[in-house]
Amino acid sequence: MTMNMPARDLHVPFYQPTGDECTLFETAQNSGLPLLLKGPTGCGKTRYIEHMAARTGRKLYTVACHDDLSAADLIGRYLLRGGETDWVDGPLTRAVREGAICYLDEVVEARKDVTVVLHPLTDNRRTLMIDRTGEELQAPSGFMLVASYNPGYQNVLKRMKPSTRQRFLSITFGFPDPTTEIAVIAQETGLDDTRVTSLVRLAGHIRNLSGMDLEEGVSTRLLIYAAMLMKTGMNVNRALEAAIIEPLTDDDDIKTALRDLITVVYG
């Protein structure tokens, strides 16, 4: 049974809370505290930040971190324009200047020099030093630093140090309970409750395989993709093949096991 959904502000991206995470965000923002989100791929971390930014009326700068992301990419650099050299702020600097939210997605993927830049922003100093221009920016009351990472993908070389982790408030995200997940998928796609319920039941079976045959269980995001395909009239097996089986694995034996699960759920 789908839970009753509250009236929705169409200007605020939909997010269904699973606890007190929205209150915690607002408290952290009002107190000038940084926030760290931990959880698997596709469980709603980015949507949560988008929702809270819109709900609190703050501009959001999102940075998808990767192996080559450096401190300069966040802070800014001098660029040659029309024969002149101009300084161009990076997303972190713009967020600090404007009192906005800066969200660093998968922060552990970034280069190590990024951590050095973040530390003064995550303690009582709340400052950003721009060495190239000699500026030291004091973060205004509206600025908030949010970072996320997936603990399941950490390794020795890509691990958040305790000295950094302990500078943040932290929330662990997981996959929603079935009732909430059904409500989210139905809200996002408009697919009928019966078919959404079958999708969520399938997800439960697949997630029970996580750690044995799969690196990670099927995400809510992939379930939404599958529901969107089914909503267009696509055959169920084809939709699940494209949205769930192929994205989860390249291993033929695991694909066969997933197809067997689909047969069990859908008959």
Closest to 145 measured CA to CA, from 158, 161, 126: 126
| Amino acid at the residue 264 | V
Taking only the tens place, the pLDDT of each residue in 44-56 is 999 999 999 999 9
For 87, the token pair is: 């300084």
Question: What pLDDT score was predicted for residue 161?
Answer: 85
Sign of CA pseudo-dihedral 203, 24, 51, 123: negative
In this model, does residue 93 exceed pLDDT 70? yes
Question: What pLDDT score was predicted for residue 215?
Answer: 77
Question: What pLDDT score was predicted for residue 76?
Answer: 96
Mean pLDDT within 219-236: 97
Give 227's pLDDT tier (boundaries 50, 70, 90): very high
* 3-class secondary structure per residue, the chain: CCCCCCCCCCCCCCCCCCCCHHHHHHHHHHHCCCEEEECCCCCCHHHHHHHHHHHHCCCEEEEECCCCCCHHHHHEEEEEECCEEEEEECHHHHHHHHCCEEEEECHHHCCCHHHHHHHHHHCCCCEEEECCCCEEEECCCCCEEEEEECHHHCCCCCCCCHHHHCCCEEEECCCCCHHHHHHHHHHHHCCCHHHHHHHHHHHHHHHCCECCCECCCCCHHHHHHHHHHHHCCCCHHHHHHHHHHHHHCCCHHHHHHHHHHHHHHHC
Instruction: Please give the class, per CATH, of domain 21-172.
Output: alpha beta
Question: What pLDDT score was predicted for residue 267?
Answer: 78
Q: How buried is residue 259: exposed, middle or buried, by Cβ count under 10 Å (0-12/13-18/19+)?
A: middle
In this model, does residue 9 exceed pLDDT 70? no
Mean pLDDT within 150-173: 82
Mean pLDDT within 120-142: 94
Mean pLDDT within 75-102: 93
In this model, does residue 6 exceed pLDDT 50? no
* Average of per-residue pLDDT values in the chain: 91
Question: What pLDDT score was predicted for residue 74?
Answer: 97
In this model, does residue 69 exceed pLDDT 90? yes
> 213 — phi, psi (to 5°)?
-115, -20
For 132, the token pair is: 């190239």
**Neighbouring C-beta atoms of residue 58, cutoff 10 Å:** 17
Across 50-59, 122-131, 146-155, 248-257, least confident range:
146-155
In this model, does residue 43 exceed pLDDT 50? yes
Question: What pLDDT score was predicted for residue 3?
Answer: 42
In this model, does residue 199 exceed pLDDT 70? yes
Question: What pLDDT score was predicted for residue 210?
Answer: 59
Please give the Cα distance from 149 to 160 (Å, whole number).
9
- On whether the CB atoms of residues 36 and 21 are closer than 8 A, the answer is no
